[in-house]
Amino acid sequence: MTVLTDAVVLVLGASGGLGSRIAAMLDDEGAIVVRAARRPESLSGPDAYLADLRTEQGAASLVAAALQAHGRLDGVVVAAGVVAFGPAAEVSDATLAELLEVNLVGPIRVLRDAADALAASADAGREPFVVTISGVVSESPTAGMAAYSASKAGLAAFVSATAREYRRRGIRVLDARPGHTDTGLATRAVAGSAPAFGTALDPDDVAARIVRAVVDGEKDLPSSAFTPES
């Protein structure tokens, strides 16, 4: 079991529908939550920072801010992301760049830039962790969302390999792959319009399942872990 009391946890995408819930639930577990987002109008508070994961220094600046404020880093949750819809043959370069930079390259930089701080947490006897959210499309790439699916599948592949490397340093890496969740992200697509998805998962339930996995020491959360019985 991972004790979250007084653990310093950086939550990226903390103003989003899922990230805000995870941050609040980590607070409830006694964690010291460092919230991060890229839009100033969506984030406030004394332990909140702005950074753009599309820039080369965005991830590093957030890790540095957490270390400067608290002297250590015990966990990272990457809940930032964007979505786009439309035929694969029509995806624009701008949309493709946005999807890959936010959903894939940015999280890769976060895991890279946080590695030493998280390893130091392990050396100090704590139980550091990273959570990423690649979503069900990384398991089942979806027509009409090909570029989005590719960005998330790439993240899942990177995390799967990284988890084996980071385990040697005492860092647990957990990828969550919930199905469509009612966070409002689909209404803020960078391109296209969302299709009819059917019944969505409750974001409170998804966030609670992710936080429970952190506490219970789980190492993977496939889409099947987000059924009502899970």
Q: Which CATH class is domain 8-222?
A: alpha beta
- Cβ neighbors of 220 (< 8 A, separation 6 or more) are 174, 175
Res. 42: pLDDT tops 90: no
The mean pLDDT value for 210-227 works out to 96
pLDDT in tens, 55-69: 999 999 999 999 999
Give residue-wise pLDDT tens across range 72-125.
999 999 999 999 999 999 999 999 999 999 999 999 999 999 999 999 999 999
Catalytic-labelled residue, pool 85, 148, 158, 166: 148
Phi, psi values for residue 74, rounded to 5°:
-110, -15
Predicted TM-score (pTM) of the model is 0.95
Domain ranges of the chain: 8-222
The structure tokens listed for 4 are 């979250």
Question: Once rounded to an integer, what is the mean pLDDT over residues 33-37?
Answer: 95
- Active site includes 49? no
Query: Encoding tokens for residue 74?
Result: 């015990």
Q: What is the predicted pLDDT for the residue at 196?
A: 86
